[in-house]
């Protein structure tokens, strides 16, 4: 009987460790009115990230000459890494990206960029969220 209780407890702990964490993210001062939902789910040693954004202005309105919204992750004091670009629908003013990161604690942020694969993030940030997986 004690073994059955221990197995149930372990199963509950493992299920709790793999729960999705969801964040409601508001736009920065540059992108007032922008709303986003960020979901982070532990999967196979990585964190699956699903970001959906609504009411986002076209990138060239946030930064002159920008054509893309790049999604970046920064872990601790390491240099930011680009996870990808939002699949942005200018007519709907919405975008999304599904990706992953190995980090359990990080800042995710979105910048309008002139190039699809910039070497570093721009100085304009439209969304930002700190994430810690427990």
- Alpha-carbon span 53 to 40, nearest angstrom: 15
- What pLDDT is attached to residue 13? 44
* pTM, entire model: 0.85
**CATH code for the domain in which residue 46 is found:** 2.60.40.200
- What pLDDT is attached to residue 18? 55
Please count the structural domains in the chain.
1
Return the closest-CA partner of residue 34 out of 48, 24, 19, 47: 24
9 falls within a domain: no
123 falls within a domain: yes
- What pLDDT is attached to residue 82? 98
- What pLDDT is attached to residue 134? 77
118 falls within a domain: yes
Distances (CA, A) of 25 to 4, 55, 71, 119: 41, 12, 14, 25
- Alpha-carbon span 58 to 71, nearest angstrom: 15
72 falls within a domain: yes
89 falls within a domain: yes
Low-confidence ranges of the chain (pLDDT < 70): 1-18
Range of the domain at 99: 20-132
10 falls within a domain: no
pLDDT in tens, 45-54: 999 999 999 9
4 falls within a domain: no
50 falls within a domain: yes
């Amino acid at each position: 009987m004690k073994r059955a209780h221990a197995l149930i407890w372990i199963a509950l702990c493992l299920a709790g460790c793999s729960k999705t964490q969801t964040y409601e993210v508001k736009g920065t001062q540059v992108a007032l009115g922008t709303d986003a939902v960020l979901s982070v789910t532990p999967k196979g040693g990585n964190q699956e990230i699903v970001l959906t954004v609504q009411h986002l202005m076209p990138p060239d309105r946030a930064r002159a000459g920008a054509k893309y919204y790049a999604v970046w992750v920064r872990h601790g004091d390491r240099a930011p890494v680009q996870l990808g670009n939002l699949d942005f629908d200018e007519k709907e003013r919405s975008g999304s990206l599904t990706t992953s990161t190995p980090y359990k604690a990080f800042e995710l942020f979105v910048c309008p960029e002139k190039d699809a694969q910039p070497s570093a993030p721009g100085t304009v940030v439209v969304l930002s969220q700190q994430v810690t997986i427990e």
